[in-house]
Amino acid sequence: MIVTTPVLTDTHCHIDAYDNPVAVLDGAHAAGVHVIAVTEDPGKYRLLRTRLGRRDGVDVALGFHPLRAGSASPHDLARFLRLLPQATWIGEIGLDFSRTGVATRKQQLRVFEAILADPQLRTHPVTVHSRGAERETITRLAQAQVPAILHWYTGPLAAVDDALSAGLWFSINPAMTRSKKGEALLQRLPPERILLETDGPYARCGNRPVTPADLRGTVEYLARQWGMSANEARGVIVRGQGNFWSQTSAHLQLDEGSKGSICDASSTP
């Protein structure tokens, strides 16, 4: 009998920012990790899709990073919305009201709200940036009923329950397991609402960038926190991945049903 190990998913990885993206993807494949390659704008999305082609083990996500929104033109936003139907994943999108991004708060809100207003977004898995704007991000995602993952959440723990009530998920990376904020967040989260990410190469593992292959260590860390074996923890995460994907599928079925009714009676870094 052949026993296969369930595939883990790195839900947030800047694969185009590594020195050798192909080598990183080869390592991910060997470690049994599927990679979601987030992008920061529609132009980078198209370039990365062309570069990777139909390579197995990776999906390129259509992104519009909030720090890009300050210089965005109406054409850039229109291009994002035009590409949205062909994307399998959306990310990185969101808000950033940290000292780095607060000056473009209004522009970010305009772009984020326009993306959330597109009903097609609800049929895609989405990975979301929320630094310094956690409550605003959670409120808008809840209002839009978008199945989303809060990537590298560092906001107030008091807002975590609101996010969980809104049906949102949280992705954990190796760097978070070594921080007090990350540990405190894990104490608040039910295991079944945790997914994995690297945010590589920006997150670090010692003196080197984190890679998707490092998520095996994150699973082992979570196993210790949850008081179970690594195989059991992997099973919890894989089931969580399936439950998250099913949310987007449910929205797709609902939207297709709505479109059918209309026809009978007579759409994001």
Residue pLDDT, tens place only, 214-228:
999 999 999 999 999
Please report which confidence band the pLDDT of residue 106 belongs to, taking 50, 70 and 90 as the band edges: very high
* Nearest partner of 269 among 55, 134, 108, judged by Cα: 108
CA-CA distances (angstroms) from residue 123 to 128, 244, 256? 15, 11, 10
* Cβ count near 196 (within 10 Å): 24
Phi, psi (degrees; rounded to nearest 5) at 151:
-85, 135
The rounded mean pLDDT for the chain is 90
- Tokens 């959670």 found at: 138
Residues 133 and 135: their CA atoms lie apart, in Å, by: 6
204-205 vs 194-196, strand pairing mode: unpaired
> Over the stretch 121-160, which tens digit does the pLDDT of each residue have?
999 999 999 999 999 999 999 999 998 999 999 999 999 9
pTM, two decimal places: 0.90
Q: How confident is the model at residue 267 (pLDDT cuts 50, 70, 90)?
A: very low
C-alpha–C-alpha distance, residues 73 and 6, integer Å:
42
